[in-house]
Amino acid sequence: MNERPSLLRLSACWAVHLYTASGAVAAFAALHAIFARDVTMAFWWLYVAVAVDASDGVLARAADVKRHLPQFDGAKLDDIVDYLTFVLVPIVLMVEVGMLQGAVGIAAGSLALLASAYRFCHADAKTADHYFTGFPSYWNIVALYLYVFAVGPDACAALTFFLAAMVFAPLRFLYPSRMAWMRASTVGLGLVWAVAVAAILVLLPERATTLAAISLAYPAYYTLLSVYAQLRGW
């Protein structure tokens, strides 16, 4: 006979799911800020959403939610929230602030939405050995750097088209919070990068291009490490 979880354990499990769901509230707040023309606050809410996404998995495993709340699909909830905060809201932001303009910009944004929706629903979007397949739909990060560097709409559209196509590429990217190989260094550098991004947001509306350029070292490290791991078969 299965042992029934304690009230405290059940409360902890539901609290974790509520924490994950709070990312949807952050998405709503970011959208409100976008339409209020407060770009800085919109990026801050997206930053909060990333912090939630980076930490809720650790809390879910600590509470053992799959075992104690098998009737609730936390992974599905996480995917819904991630699509809002990593895909939909950043694309809306790029359109509303003029990074994506005209028919070409709308087409690029639409392709990004469709490609990421397909990838989120694909069985191999996250592999058993903790990789993402294809470009991992980090549109929030793309939007931030394009905004800080004041990239023109034509270049923004071209990059959006390219990355949307890369969603379908036969490439694998490391899942930083779940990877076993070089996890400590990757997570540690990720925290340093998160501090740098926070500093960039603090300085807005001044665009800290030098700091942003330096902070690109981490996305470059992550991409190169993912490619190296794939080539070596790890």
Tens digits of residue pLDDT in 174-214: 877 666 677 788 889 999 999 999 999 999 999 999 999 99
178 or 101: which leads in pLDDT: 101
Q: Which residues contact 211 (CB under 8 A, 6 or more apart)?
A: 196, 199, 200, 203
User: Which range among 21-30, 53-62, 126-135 shows the weakest confidence by mean pLDDT?
Assistant: 126-135
pLDDT at 133: 83
Please tell me the pTM assigned to this model: 0.91
Q: Which is more confident, 106 or 228? A: 106
pLDDT of residue 131: 75
- pLDDT tens-digit map of 23-48: 999 999 999 999 999 999 999 999 99
User: With contact defined as beta carbons under 8 Å apart, do 90 and 140 qualify?
Assistant: yes
The model's confidence at residue 150, banded by pLDDT at 50, 70 and 90, is very high
In the three-class reduction of DSSP (H, G, I as helix; E, B as strand; rest coil), residue 131 is classed as strand
Domains parsed from the chain with CATH numbers: 7-232 (1.20.120)
Is the pLDDT score of 116 beyond 80?
Answer: yes
- The chain-wide mean pLDDT, for the chain, equals 92
C-alpha dihedral sign at 16, 131, 49, 186? positive
Report pLDDT digits (tens) over 209-234. Answer: 999 999 999 999 999 988 888 887 65
Confidence (pLDDT) at 1: 41
Contact 175, 133 (CB under 8 A): no
How far, in Å, CA of 174 to CA of 224, rounded? 10
pLDDT at 5: 81
Instruction: Give the span between the Cα atoms of 143 and 141, in whole angstroms.
Output: 5
Torsional sign, CA 201, 204, 209, 210: negative
